[in-house]
Chains A and B, each alone.
Chain A
Amino acid sequence: MAELRTPLSRAKGLGSARSGSGHFIAQRVSAVALMLLIPVFVWMIARLPDMSYETARAAIGSPLGALVLLLTLTAAFYHMRLGLQVVIEDYISEPFTRAGLLIANTLLVAGLWLVALFSILVIAA
């Protein structure tokens, strides 16, 4: 295959968009974390006898339950911010809309992450 990159670009080693390699690696590292965490999370929820207030509080309030949720949701929010960023970059080319959606994605995920962590810690306290 022909060499498609300029010598300078190859020397810099950052890919065609200058920042893609870090995104690529972060997406895969969080994916590996989720491969381990999501089955534990789903198993934890699926084995509950019901979804009443008391049952849910007890499951998520237990040290292990709280830890599983904190780890799973942290990895999930990180992974989904990266994922939706790519979707926005692929389909939205108008610069203003694109920047706005990218900012909204980051702020929404950051906000959801904090709400989720705070809620879990309140339940576990």
Chain B
Amino acid sequence: MAKPSTANRPLSPHVSVWRWHATMASSIAHRISGVANYTGAVLVTIWLAALAAGPEAYGAVEALIAGPVGILVTLALIGFTLSLTYHMLNGIRHLVWDLGHGFDPKGSNLRSILIFAGAVVITAAIWLAAGGLV
């Protein structure tokens, strides 16, 4: 039987050989925002279940928003908006990468910074448009 040609396969470089740069930060942020969006979807489901259950159950959600931890709920919602926006913008970039474009290091670093900034700007615009929703 022929021996499989496995001798020249590269070893994955360890994380610590990399110097910090914007594209690396954007990649890590993509994963963190993905997990944050997962958590957000869990909370959206709980909110929907309370809304479906009736006014008494939803009253508990409203009390939480109106109560002393209401500011934390608002901050969490702003964080969720930022996380969704960032993950979507960087996700579009990932789709472009999948098509084989945008691998130049300098341009990639610049686009990473633009994506971070874009996510903040879009999140701010959404919350200004929503105007005192929560």
Contact = CB atoms under 8 A, between A and B. Distances in A.
A102 interface: no
A112 B4 contact: no
A118 B52 CA distance: 9
Interface in A69-121: 69, 73, 76-77, 80, 83-84, 87, 112, 115-116, 118-120
B62 A87 contact: no
A53 B65 CA distance: 13
A57 to B, nearest CB: 6
A47 B131 CA distance: 9
Given A35-B91, A42-B84, A87-B31, A56 B51 contact: yes
Interface in A18-67: 28, 31-32, 34-35, 38, 42, 45-53, 56-57, 60
B118 to A, nearest CB: 14
Contacts of A11: none
Given A42-B81, A47-B130, A48-B133, A53 B51 contact: yes
B48 A80 contact: no
A84 B51 contact: no
Contact of A73 (B37, B41, B129, B133): B41
Contacts of A119: 45, 48-49, 51-52
Interface residues of B, number: 38
B133 A80 contact: no
Interface in B37-74: 37-38, 41-42, 44-45, 48-49, 51-52, 55, 58-59, 62, 65
Interface in B1-47: 4-6, 8-10, 31, 34-35, 37-38, 41-42, 44-45
Contacts of B81: 42
Nearest to B51: A56
B51 A34 contact: no
B133 A46 contact: yes
A113 B75 CA distance: 25
Given A80-B38, A80-B41, A119-B51, A46 B95 contact: no
Contacts of A2: 8
Interface in B74-95: 81, 84, 88, 91-92, 94-95
5 contacts: A45-B130, A48-B130, A60-B48, A87-B31, A122-B52
